[in-house]
Chain A
Amino acid sequence: MDEATFTTPRHEFWRGVREEAPLLLGVAPFGLIFGALAMDAQIAVPLAQAMSAIIFAGASQFIAAQMIDAGASALVILLVVFIVNLRHALYSASVAPHMRALSPGWKFLLSYLLTDEAYAVTITHYNQKTDPANKHWFFLGAGLTLWITWQVSTAIGIFIGAQLPQKWPLDFVLPLTFIALVIPALKDKASVVAAVTAALVGILTFGLPLKAGLLVAAFVGILSGLLVEGRRK
């Protein structure tokens, strides 16, 4: 290990905060809209805030709020939330090898903070040269930054509502950040094939409900990456 990869917990933590920061531009408006939507759905204020604190997964919270409004049964709501959030199992598998040495407490805490946006910056950081002893502090910094933003923006949305236009240009920050994270990671042919295949299948399966298209696209992408890798051996 070269010298540059030795860091302190504090350094890693703040680096996580910094690298998560641009994503907040896209996440905060989303939280505002969730708070406002929960109020439109006649959900009680503490329950609306608790959805952000307990579930802490944007897309599934939107769908759950709409289903509560529509009077869906508990079982259906749970099933839908489960399916919409199933992609997190992929993230879990992806970060697992990096978390083996951590205590159960850390594993609990970081699992709770494992969202799309925290995963994206953390796995990018983990795949670079990092300090294995302290890199979980990066994850904590990124995850906590997103968590605080999500809670505060939900609260603001609950109390002042959201007058955002339906299409808010800052939504675009999310795909732009993901582009900035993915492109430098495309270092070999198999990765490029995995990315392009996943993207195209993502378009083809866009119409599938409950974010199922995203899961299908990710799996087909991963498989095609493996196939290209296997053929070259």
Chain B
Amino acid sequence: MSLWLVILLAGLLTFATRFSFIILLDHIKVPDWFQRGLRYVPVAVLSAIILPELATHNAILYLSLRNPQFYAGALAVLVAWRTKNVLLTILAGMIALLVFQAVLGVH
């Protein structure tokens, strides 16, 4: 199979995945628990992305108290909670990361 065809099919598969429920939920009635479960999708998925990002270094698990990303992440959680401001959270988190990297002597 030519690589072009592979990429085209890969794109179609990805599109179909993204389109799946958008079109499906127009035509089928889903049970109540499914409907209620959707409410937790954003917090669950994003949290499942966040913590592994903080806890890894170059795609390797780095569960250590010397991991500066934990402290920067914790500070970002605090700033997000108090201010609900995205830019402020990013700014505080980035500065904290650089500071903790310097303090802990790790990158």
Q: Is A148 an interface residue (CB 8 A)?
A: no
CB-CB < 8 A to A47: which residues of B? Answer: 3-4, 7
Q: Mark A206-221, 1 if CB is under 8 A from B, else 0.
A: 1100000110011101
Interfacial residues of chain B within 1-43, with CB under 8 A of chain A in the complex = 1, 3-11, 13-15, 17-26, 33-43
Chain A residue with Cβ nearest B26: A100
Q: Which residues of B contact A219 (CB under 8 A)?
A: 44
| B52: A residues at CB distance < 8 A | 202-203, 206, 213-214
Does A162 have its Cβ within 8 Å of any Cβ on chain B? Answer: no
Q: Which of B23, B45, B58 has the most CB of A within 10 A?
A: B45
* Contact in complex: B47, A226 (CB < 8 Å): no
> Count of A-B contacts with CB under 8 A?
255
Q: Which residues of B contact A116 (CB under 8 A)?
A: 49
Q: Which residue of A lies closest to B41 (CB)?
A: A94
Contact A89-B20, Cβ < 8 Å, known A22-B87, A179-B76, A194-B44:
yes
Known: A56-B11, A86-B17, A180-B76. A225 touches B50 (CB 8 A): no
| A163 part of interface (Cβ distance < 8 Å) | no
- In whole Å, how far is B91's beta carbon from the nearest beta carbon of chain A? 9
Query: Which chain A residues (91-109) contact chain B, with CB distance < 8 Å?
Result: 91-97, 99-100, 107-108
List the one stretch of A7-15, A29-37, A150-158, A169-177 in contact with chain B: A169-177
B67 within 8 A of A: no
Distance of A54 Cα from B21 Cα, bound (Å): 20
Contact with A along B61-77 (1 / 0, CB 8 A): 10100000100110011
Q: A176-B90, A179-B89, A194-B44 are in contact. List 20 more A-B contacts (CB 8 A).
A: A25-B90, A57-B14, A74-B1, A81-B13, A88-B18, A89-B18, A92-B17, A93-B21, A97-B38, A111-B15, A167-B57, A169-B98, A181-B86, A182-B42, A203-B63, A217-B48, A218-B41, A221-B45, A225-B39, A225-B40
Interchain residue pairs with CB less than 8 A apart (15): A55-B14, A56-B14, A57-B14, A93-B34, A94-B38, A175-B54, A175-B69, A175-B73, A180-B86, A182-B47, A196-B47, A203-B51, A217-B44, A221-B45, A229-B36
Q: Which residues of A contact B (CB under 8 A)?
A: 19, 22, 25, 43, 47, 50-51, 54-57, 60, 64, 68, 74, 77-78, 81-82, 85-97, 99-100, 107-108, 110-112, 114, 116, 119-120, 123-124, 127, 166-167, 169, 172-186, 190-191, 194-203, 206-207, 213-214, 217-219, 221-223, 225-226, 229
